[in-house]
């Protein structure tokens, strides 16, 4: 299927800017890539979809997994990550992550990052899937915010980096097999803008807004993945979406994540009868991998006809407020005291393991296109991300990607570009379609999947795509919906194709892992 570009700017003048390295996204990966490209001597433009500091990275609670404790080693971290990836994590990519991770954290500390200390050294906690405590954290549960607090001033102070806010990426523009820039909608002046670039780095994050229940902020609409796919880039492992087991669930409350570190500190899961149930699902109980815990909670909800289970944090006691101040403040708004009360929780979409296929330097299959962070599929996570590896991935591969992008882009394309396409003019209720899409994806592309349901989903998505992907829009909400609608179809196709259960992908009709047939990736590419 040949997809149209998202917008017809034939009737409008498209303004132009240029830069040597264009970085799209201002989260931890985008900041890291911008800094490393600038240090390599390149002129960088950092384009943020919303405000410069409005990122998913800022919301990351748990911490950063890194082999820095005296009892740990990169080899231990490697083995835990490969085990979590269920056979599909790339050993070479994981080696890069665990071996370069300590260096990146030391660089963060040298730049002023403040992580919680235990005496003279760093404090470490444990999360599910880790064989020992290796998670460093900041301000209890504000680790992502500390990463952004440390990196953002370095970007702001760097004279080689220009920052652009409210630049919505509409599409990548290509010439032959090369990406030559990005087409944006500038949110202040409401105008189209083409940024010519010698190389482009996507650091646009995930697509959690596809699902009805999600921990992701409203900006996580898969824009970078969708634009990359339309331009001819390969997307990999789209069936592997991670669902976080413990998300605060109270009527009227935002779907606020209750960090896995809470369970690492001793909290347990109980059902409506206050029965501790995780031991009956896995010997690691609350510290089993996220897919196991999510499915266990879902099973308990079905058995009890309940809308949620509960997190019992009473063993942590009064220390909860100090250790998890952000979580404490949120639940207190709803008159819950973790030292005395149970916290209602249920799973929600959290993280995308798949994305733009890259090598260990962030390079995609198109010339001068790179990706890092959640938008990328470096091979680090495989079928299931090990908890707290994501911020480390942003730092390690953001650094590598910025260096590679700086070296790759030699020339800025100066030829004439046309942005024209035929579109259908008709009214479309974007919010209504997005609600329907969210519900469909949650029911049939969520924690548990089934072949018949996936086939139904694909038919429904094709129906919606037949008119919605060719509708004319003039604002980001419509383009975001189109991006999610496109990606939903690709996820459903991959989930239907993978007739086994592996990592975060679980098929009720194929509940066993099938290494003989499926110890491989699924790639999706236009055409």
Verify whether residue 290 is a known catalytic residue.
Answer: yes
Q: Which parts of 358-475 fold into alpha helices (H)?
A: 390-408, 430-444, 451-468
The confidence band for 7, taking pLDDT boundaries of 50, 70 and 90, is low
Q: What CA–CA distance (Å, rounded) separates 248 from 343?
A: 7
User: pTM for the whole thing?
Assistant: 0.95
What's the mean per-residue pLDDT of the chain? 94
Which range (64-78, 161-175, 261-275, 423-437) has the least confidence?
423-437
pLDDT score for 426: 72
Contacts of range 101-106, beta carbons closer than 8 Å, 24 or more positions apart = 101/65, 101/66, 101/67, 101/74, 101/77, 101/392, 101/395, 101/396, 102/66, 102/67, 102/68, 102/74, 104/392, 104/395, 104/396, 104/399, 105/64, 105/66, 105/68, 105/136, 105/392, 105/395
DSSP state string for 237-268: -TT-EEEEEEEE--TTS---B--HHHHHTT-E
> What are the backbone dihedrals phi and psi of residue 480, each rounded to the nearest 5 degrees, phi first?
-60, -45
The band of 52, judged by pLDDT with boundaries at 50, 70 and 90, is very high
Chain segment 218-251, per-residue pLDDT in tens: 999 999 999 999 999 999 999 999 999 999 999 8
Give the angle subtended at the CA of 62 by the CAs of 115 and 254, to the nearest 5°.
Answer: 125
Q: Can you tell me the mean pLDDT for 9-29?
A: 88
User: Picking from 9-18, 370-379, 400-409, 411-420, which range would have the lowest pLDDT averaged per residue?
Assistant: 9-18
Q: Give 512's Cβ-side CA count (13 Å radius).
A: 4
> Confidence band (pLDDT; 50, 70, 90) for 2?
very low
- Above 90 in pLDDT, residue 306? yes
Asked whether the beta carbons of 146 and 121 are under 8 A apart, the reply is: no
Q: Where are the alpha helices (DSSP H) in 235-368?
A: 260-264, 290-304, 319-323, 325-333
- Please indicate whether residue 472 or residue 41 has the higher confidence score (pLDDT): 41
**Average pLDDT, stretch 8-28?**
86
CA pair distance 306, 298, nearest whole angstrom:
9
- The predicted-structure confidence for 186-224, as pLDDT tens digits, reads as follows 999 999 999 999 999 999 999 999 999 999 999 999 999
Tokens of 93: 């990519």
Residue 22 makes CB contacts below 8 A (sequence gap 6+) with 44, 45, 47, 181, 182, 195, 197, 199, 200, 201
Arithmetic mean of pLDDT, 368-392 = 97
Q: 161: part of which helix (H) or strand (E)?
A: strand 161-164
pLDDT of residue 1 exceeding 50 = no
For the segment 70-81, the average pLDDT, to the nearest whole number, is 97
pLDDT of 260 above 90: no
Check whether 422 has a pLDDT greater than 60: no
Q: Across residues 368-375, what is the average pLDDT?
A: 98
Note the pLDDT tens digit of each residue in 84-142.
999 999 999 999 999 999 999 999 999 999 999 998 899 999 988 899 999 999 988 89
Q: Is 64's pLDDT higher than 90? A: yes
Domains of the chain: 1-61+148-240+353-527 (3.50.50.60), 244-349 (3.90.700.10)
The predicted pLDDT at position 172 comes to 96
Question: At 39, is the secondary structure helix, strand, or coil?
Answer: helix
Q: Which of 126, 142, 236, 290 is catalytic?
A: 290
Distances (CA, A) of 378 to 93, 207, 381, 392, 520: 7, 17, 8, 13, 15
Q: Which pLDDT value is given to residue 8?
A: 54
Could you tell me which residue, 425 or 177, shows the higher pLDDT? 177
């Amino acid at each position: 299927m040949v997809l149209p570009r998202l917008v017809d700017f034939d009737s409008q003048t498209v303004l132009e800017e240029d830069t040597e390295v264009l970085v799209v996204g201002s989260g931890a990966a985008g900041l890291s890539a911008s800094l490393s490209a600038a240090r390599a001597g390149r002129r960088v433009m950092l384009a943020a979809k919303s405000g410069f500091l409005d990122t998913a990275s800022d919301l990351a609670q748990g911490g950063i997994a890194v082999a820095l404790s005296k009892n740990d080693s990169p080899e231990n971290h490697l083995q835990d990550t490969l085990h979590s990836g269920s056979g599909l994590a790339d050993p070479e990519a994981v080696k890069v992550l665990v071996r370069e991770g300590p260096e990146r954290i030391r660089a963060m500390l040298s730049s002023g990052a403040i992580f919680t200390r235990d005496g003279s050294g760093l404090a470490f906690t444990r999360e599910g899937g880790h064989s020992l405590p290796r998670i460093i954290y900041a301000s209890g549960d504000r680790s992502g915010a500390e990463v952004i607090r440390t990196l953002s001033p370095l970007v702001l102070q760097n004279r080689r980096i220009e920052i652009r806010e409210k630049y919505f990426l509409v599409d990548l523009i290509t010439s032959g097999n090369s990406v030559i820039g990005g087409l944006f909608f500038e949110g202040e002046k409401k105008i189209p803008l083409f940024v010519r670039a010698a190389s482009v780095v996507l650091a646009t994050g995930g697509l959690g807004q596809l699902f009805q229940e999600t921990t992701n902020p409203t900006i996580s609409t898969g824009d970078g993945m969708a634009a990359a796919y339309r331009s001819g880039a390969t997307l990999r492992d789209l069936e592997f979406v991670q669902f976080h087991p413990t998300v605060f669930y109270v009527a009227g409350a935002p779907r606020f994540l209750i960090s896995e570190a809470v369970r690492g500190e001793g909290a347990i899961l109980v059902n409506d009868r206050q029965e501790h149930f995780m031991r009956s699902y896995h010997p690691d109980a609350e510290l089993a991998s996220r897919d196991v815990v999510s499915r266990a909670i879902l099973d308990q909800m079905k058995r009890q006809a309940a809308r949620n289970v509960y997190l019992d944090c009473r063993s942590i006691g009064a220390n909860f407020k100090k250790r998890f101040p952000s979580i404490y403040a949120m639940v207190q708004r709803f008159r819950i005291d973790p030292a005395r009360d149970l916290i209602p929780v249920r799973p929600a979409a959290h993280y995308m393991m798949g994305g733009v296929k890259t090598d260990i330097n962030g390079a995609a299959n198109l010339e001068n296109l790179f990706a890092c962070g959640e938008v990328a599929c470096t091979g680090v996570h495989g079928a299931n991300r090990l908890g707290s590896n994501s911020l480390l991935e942003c730092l390690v591969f953001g650094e590598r990607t910025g260096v590679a992008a700086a070296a790759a882009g030699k020339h800025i394309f100066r030829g004439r570009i046309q942005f024209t396409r035929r579109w259908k003019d008709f009214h479309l209720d974007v919010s209504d379609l997005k609600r329907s899409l969210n519900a469909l994806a949650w029911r049939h592309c969520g924690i548990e999947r089934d072949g018949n349901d996936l086939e139904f989903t694909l038919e429904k998505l094709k129906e919606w795509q037949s008119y919605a992907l060719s509708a004319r829009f003039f604002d980001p909400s419509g383009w975001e919906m189109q991006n999610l609608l496109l990606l939903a179809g690709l996820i459903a196709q991959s989930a239907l194709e993978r007739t086994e259960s592996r990592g975060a992908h679980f098929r009720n009709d194929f509940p066993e892992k099938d290494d003989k047939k499926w110890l491989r990736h699924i790639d999706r590419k236009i055409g």
